[in-house]
Amino acid sequence: MLTYEKLLRRISERDFASAGKSVWGRELYYYRVGRGEKKLFINGTHHGNEYITAEIALDFYDYIKNRTGNWSIYVLPMVNPDGTAICQGLLPKSTDTYEHIRRLNGWKDLYRVWRKNANGVDLNHNYDASFKSEGVSGGAYPESEPESRAVVNLVKKENFDMVICLHAQGEEIYHGFRGVYPDGSRVIAEAMAKASGYKVSEPTGSASFGGMKDWFTHKFSRPGFTIEVGRGENPLPEEQLPGIEKRLFPAIEKAMLTYDEVLC
For Zn ion, which residue has the nearest CB?
Answer: 167
First to last CA, the chain: 40
The answer to whether 206 and 29 have CB atoms below 8 angstroms apart is no
Number of chain residues interacting with Zn ion (CB under 5 A): 3
For Zn ion, the binding residues in 173-202 under the rule CB under 5 A are none
> Other C-beta atoms within 10 Å of 185: how many?
22
Q: In 48-58, which positions are buried (b, 16+ CB within 10 angstroms) versus exposed (e)?
A: bbbbbbbbbbb
Residue 39 or 167: which CB sits closer to Zn ion? Answer: 167
> Other C-beta atoms within 10 Å of 76: how many?
25
Amino acid letter, residue 56:
I
**Which range touches Zn ion (CB under 5 A), out of 45-53, 71-79, 178-186, 253-261?**
45-53
Radius of gyration of the chain (CA): 17
Closest distance to Zn ion from the beta carbon of 96 (Å): 28
47 binds Zn ion (CB under 5 A): yes
Pairing status of strand 172-175 against strand 71-76: unpaired
Could you give the C-alpha distances from 24 to 5, 28, 108, 171, in angstroms and in order? 14, 11, 21, 32
Residue 83 or 184: which CB sits closer to Zn ion? Answer: 83
Closest distance to Zn ion from the beta carbon of 57 (Å): 13
Closest distance to Zn ion from the beta carbon of 124 (Å): 6
Residue 33 or 251: which CB sits closer to Zn ion? Answer: 251
Residue 33 or 229: which CB sits closer to Zn ion? Answer: 229
Write the binding mask 16 to 35 for Zn ion: x where contact by CB under 5 A, - elsewhere: --------------------
For Zn ion, the binding residues in 191-250 under the rule CB under 5 A are none
What's the CA gap between 252 and 123, in Å, rounded?
A: 23
Closest distance to Zn ion from the beta carbon of 255 (Å): 19
Residue 33 or 236: which CB sits closer to Zn ion? Answer: 236
Residue 245 or 260: which CB sits closer to Zn ion? Answer: 245
What's the CA gap between 85 and 249, in Å, rounded?
A: 26
For Zn ion, the binding residues in 159-178 under the rule CB under 5 A are 167
Q: Residue 55: CB partners within 8 Å, gap ≥ 6?
A: 2, 77, 238, 241
Write the binding mask 115 to 154 for Zn ion: x where contact by CB under 5 A, - elsewhere: ----------------------------------------
Residue 124 or 196: which CB sits closer to Zn ion? Answer: 124
Q: Which residue ranges make up the site for Zn ion (CB under 5 A)?
A: 47, 50, 167
